Structure 1
Amino acid sequence: MSLFSTILEKLGIGKHATSSAQAAPAAPTTGTTGEITQNPPSTPTAAISEVDVASKLEALASQQTEQLNWRTSIVDLLKLLSIDSSLAARKELAAELHYTGSTDDSATMNTWLHSAVMKKLAENGGKVPADLLD
């Protein structure tokens, strides 16, 4: 699983509830003429909702004893989500998100990564405050 997919999973983005009718195949029924017919497939009834990224992260941060500045630090964001925040992992995430700068300049890469992750979260159904999308 990719690192960004792990981030999405930890935040519950991309997972939508399905109705019990969708989870199980439709059972055949007997019509008035004695024929066995298949029930029509059900349509999704659960509305797709955005995940409020900031609220979810604030709730996680409130449970931590360590002060994590997830709003500006990719390292703290990854730590908050219990994801490997090592330089090697961040370089892997940078490659996954198509970072074109030098990974030897970790400060610049980290700033870019934080911004790119927030933008990708928004693109994938996360509700991200505008101040985190700069």
Structure 2
Amino acid sequence: MSIFKSILTKIFGERDAATPAAPTAAPGAATATTMPQVDVEVVLMQMAAASKQKLDWRRSIVDLLKLLGLDSTQDARRELAKELRYSGDMNDTATLNLWLHRQVMTKLAENGGRVPNSLRA
């Protein structure tokens, strides 16, 4: 499983955020299905409240990954960057980490999450 898919699963649960659920409407009825939007900030705040660690998940990709119980090592972050098509210098970890955090929050929003602009900046 990809690292980003693991992030999605941790926040959205087992549902596949990229694939809408099959419609359950009667034949001839409208087939559009709406899935409830997940409030990413609320989910992460609840996880943080239950955590014994003080994690700055709002600004740090390392702390976000730790909060989700995922590998936060530099190698894992580089792998995530490759998944998300980072084109910058992989050795510039400060820039990479800032980009990763913004990109993860943006991708969560694209996959059905409600993510405040403050977390995508």
Tell me if TM exceeds 0.5: yes
Q: Does 1:60 align with 2:47?
A: yes
Structure 2: which 5+ residue stretches go unaligned?
none
Higher-strand-fraction structure: 1
Q: Which runs of 4+ in 1 moved over 2 A?
A: 15-19
1:12, distance to aligned residue in structure 2 (A): 1.3
Alpha-carbon deviation of 1:65? 1.3
For residues 39 and 87 of structure 2, the distance between their equivalents in structure 1, rounded to whole angstroms, comes to: 29
Q: Which runs of 5+ in 1 are unaligned?
A: 22-39
Q: Deviations over 1:19-53 (max 9, x none)?
A: 9x8xxxxxxxxxxxxxxxxxx6xx88x74111000
TM-score, normalised by the number of residues in structure 2: 0.84
Which has more helix, going by share of residues? 2
- Structure whose CA Rg is larger: 1
- Candidates 36, 43, 56, aligned match of 1:49: 36
Which shows bigger deviation, 55-64 or 8-17? 8-17
- 1:37-84 per-residue CA deviation (whole Å, 9 max, x = no partner) reads xxx6xx88x741110000000000001111000000000000000000
CA distance in 2, matches of 1:70, 1:83: 13
The separation in 1 between residues aligned to 2:46 and 2:20, in whole angstroms, is 21
